[in-house]
Amino acid sequence: MSISKNNLILYIGILVFGIAAPFLFPAFKVQLSILCVLIVLATTWNIQGGEMGYNSFGNILFYGLGMYLCASVQVGMFFPLAEWTESGGEKTFVHTPAQFFQGMAVGLIVAAVVPTIVAGLIGYSILGLRGHYFAICTLGLGVAAGEISGGIEIIGAGQGFTTPPFPDVGSLDSRGEFFYFLSFFVLVLTFIAVRGIYSTRFKLILNAIRDNEDKAEAMGIETMKYKIVGWMISAFFCGLAGGIMGGLVGYIDSTDVAFDGREMGVFMVLMAILGGKGTLWGPIIGATVFHIFKEGFWTFFLGWQYVALGVLIVVIVIYFPEGIMGWLREKYPERFGEVVDEKDRKAQVELK
């Protein structure tokens, strides 16, 4: 992985901006943390949807799983879980700061590892499906997980699960800062991992699977192995993102927060498509644009948000399937390292 000088300046600039952001915009700390989580989700969805050609609606499964696991571990390490959920967030049990951070650390590790294992276990069965069967199967998986977790008593069933409140450590700002830096750290980790992956042969194999899986197999690539590994990487980061989001929101509901196929599950697909799937920066740009649009204009719609969301999905999918990066690529192909033969281009225009 080599980094050119221009890129290095860009990365350092973004890193400095990321670290300074909560102090520059103290009022938007929660929004910035959510943005980090959204970028993580869009980027990891892109590994399946963009690079591998497997359009998954099911990454929400890992996100929700991570959310429930992180919160359950954080509570279960110190207090009886059943009584906690029964009390519904009443202040009968209070985490001390040390307990809270210990629980969070262990919880995040569990939240990352277990979804990865789950992805590995179900990967062989699910990833054998192709095209729309895969899409619908993963959609079913996500909804089933939501419905089933909504019936389990120990994690709150229908009335939800309150995550441990942030302990009193002095200043009022510390909660926002803690979650911001946590999510920013995960974002940086995700970016480094994904960028690393995209500069290796692994990415080429994923692209080969997308372009023609049968031919890739005929070339001697064990496609199933790579597909599962790709899904496990996504699951790892989705689980982490879910764990953080659970703590940030402070309340987990089975179908409205954790396995929220109608919101988060579609958002991650939409953000990746909006930015341009199959590119490193596309999902990041898409998530940022989407989040700014959503937070900036959501309040103007006054209850019509979902109507706007439905229209937005249809419009993006029909008129803008290549995304922002795809549009830029068409406009400035030289900047993407593509050599354009003017004659060939003119010939193609004439053909059209």
Q: If binding is defined by CB under 8 A, does position 206 make contact with another protein? A: no
The rounded distance, in Å, linking the Cα atoms of 25 and 23 is 6
The rounded distance, in Å, linking the Cα atoms of 176 and 334 is 42
Instruction: Pick one of 310, 327, 336, 345: the residue that binds another protein (CB under 8 A).
Output: 310
CB of 63 to another protein, least distance (A): 17
For 103, residues 6+ apart whose C-beta sits below 8 A from its C-beta are 73, 74, 75, 77, 78, 95, 164
| Residue 315 in tokens | 């419009």
For residue 331, the Cα-to-chain-centroid distance in whole angstroms is 28
Measured from the CB atom, is 40 or 273 closer to another protein? 273
Handedness of CA 322, 323, 329, 335 (dihedral sign): negative
Q: If binding is defined by CB under 8 A, does position 317 make contact with another protein? A: yes
Handedness of CA 304, 305, 310, 313 (dihedral sign): positive
| Residues between 258 and 277 with contacts to another protein, criterion CB under 8 A | 262, 266, 269, 273
Q: If binding is defined by CB under 8 A, does position 137 make contact with another protein? A: yes
Contact between 93 and 84 under an 8 Å Cβ cutoff? The reply is yes
The rounded distance, in Å, linking the Cα atoms of 142 and 147 is 9
Piece of 71-79, 102-110, 196-204, 304-312 that binds another protein (CB under 8 A): 304-312
The rounded distance, in Å, linking the Cα atoms of 51 and 197 is 11
Measured from the CB atom, is 213 or 230 closer to another protein? 213
Piece of 84-92, 160-168, 175-183, 316-324 that binds another protein (CB under 8 A): 316-324
Measured from the CB atom, is 177 or 263 closer to another protein? 263
**Nearest alpha-carbon partner for 235 in 28, 22, 49, 66:** 66
Q: If binding is defined by CB under 8 A, does position 221 make contact with another protein? A: no
Piece of 68-76, 177-185, 285-293, 308-316 that binds another protein (CB under 8 A): 308-316
Contact between 115 and 58 under an 8 Å Cβ cutoff? The reply is no
Q: If binding is defined by CB under 8 A, does position 314 make contact with another protein? A: yes
The rounded distance, in Å, linking the Cα atoms of 241 and 67 is 8
Instruction: Pick one of 112, 205, 309, 324: the residue that binds another protein (CB under 8 A).
Output: 309
Contact between 30 and 207 under an 8 Å Cβ cutoff? The reply is no
Q: If binding is defined by CB under 8 A, does position 225 make contact with another protein? A: no
Measured from the CB atom, is 56 or 183 closer to another protein? 56
Taking residues 93 to 132 in sequence order and writing x for each that binds another protein by CB under 8 A, - otherwise, the string is --------------------------------xx-xxxxx
**Nearest alpha-carbon partner for 33 in 211, 247, 208:** 247
Instruction: Pick one of 22, 50, 103, 150: the residue that binds another protein (CB under 8 A).
Output: 150
Contact residues: another protein, CB under 8 A: 55, 125-126, 128-133, 135-137, 139-141, 143-144, 146-148, 150-151, 157-158, 262, 266, 269, 273, 303-304, 306-307, 309-314, 317-318, 321
